[in-house]
Amino acid sequence: MLPLLIVFGIRWAVIEPFVIPSGSMIPNLLVHDHILVKKYSLGLKVPFSNLWLARWRAPQRGEILVFRYPQNPEIFYIKRLIGLPGDVVQVRGSGQLTVNGHEWSLTELPSYVDDGFKYFTEDTGQQKHIVRFLAGPSVTDESTEYRVPEGQYFFMGDNRDQSSDGRVFGYVPDKYLIGPASLIWLSCENTLTSVSYICDPRQIRWKRLFNTVQ
């Protein structure tokens, strides 16, 4: 009984594993990356509830966070936090960003070789990370504005042209935040055909093991 309580306590309050199911966060997170999420980072929730018991910090722009999908809270999503409550986010084309009048600059990375895609370093002014776009011209250069309501957040995927994110499902309430992604502890190209959630040991991505999530 005690070991079960310890495991439950760790998953409830400290850290919890998740598996990346889609390519919306390429190149920073790949399908079948197994990650650890620091649930204690933002605060502490009432067990089996979305209510915050204690809160010691707010999430920061640029963090990659796990949250409950607003349209079905039983499903977990992972995206990069773009807009905080009260922010005004402008998305130009397929994902070039301006937040509160400050443009997040994009610097192309020609060293990334990937047919059909281009990679850029995106600079928020406080943090840098890599994002991916389709190599062809943007479908539109129009700008869409998002005014983030109080108590809610705006998220986008790093794989900008292939991500269903805040541009589709809207804003995420504070109560649905889980925590920031911390570490890739396991990664594989494919899972076992007999057990779909277990990595095929012959296809481990060894270079990704124990990489921090950025």
Tell me the pLDDT tens digit for each residue of 79-135: 999 999 999 999 998 788 999 999 999 999 988 878 889 999 999 998 999 999 998
What distances in angstroms separate CA 69 from CA 48, 66, 115, 206, one per listed residue? 16, 9, 31, 31
Write out pLDDT tens, residues 145-193.
999 999 999 999 999 999 999 999 999 999 999 999 999 999 999 998 8
| Residue 197: per-residue pLDDT | 78
Domains recognised in the chain with CATH numbers: 2-212 (2.10.109.10)
* Angle (nearest 5°) at CA 165 between 161 and 167: 85
Q: Mean pLDDT of all residues in the chain?
A: 90
What per-residue confidence (pLDDT) applies to 137?
60
- Could you list the active site residues? 24, 79
For residue 22, give the amino acid letter: S
CA dist., res. 27 & res. 192, Å (int): 23
Q: pLDDT (tens digit, 9 = 90+) per residue, 121-137?
A: 999 998 999 999 998 76
Whole-angstrom distance, CA of residue 59 vs CA of residue 2: 33
Q: Which of the four pLDDT bands, split at 50, 70 and 90, describes residue 6? A: low
Say if residue 133 is exposed, middle or buried (CB neighbours under 10 Å; 0-12, 13-18, 19+).
Answer: buried
CA distance 101 to 90: 8
Tell me the whole-structure pTM to 2 decimals.
Answer: 0.92
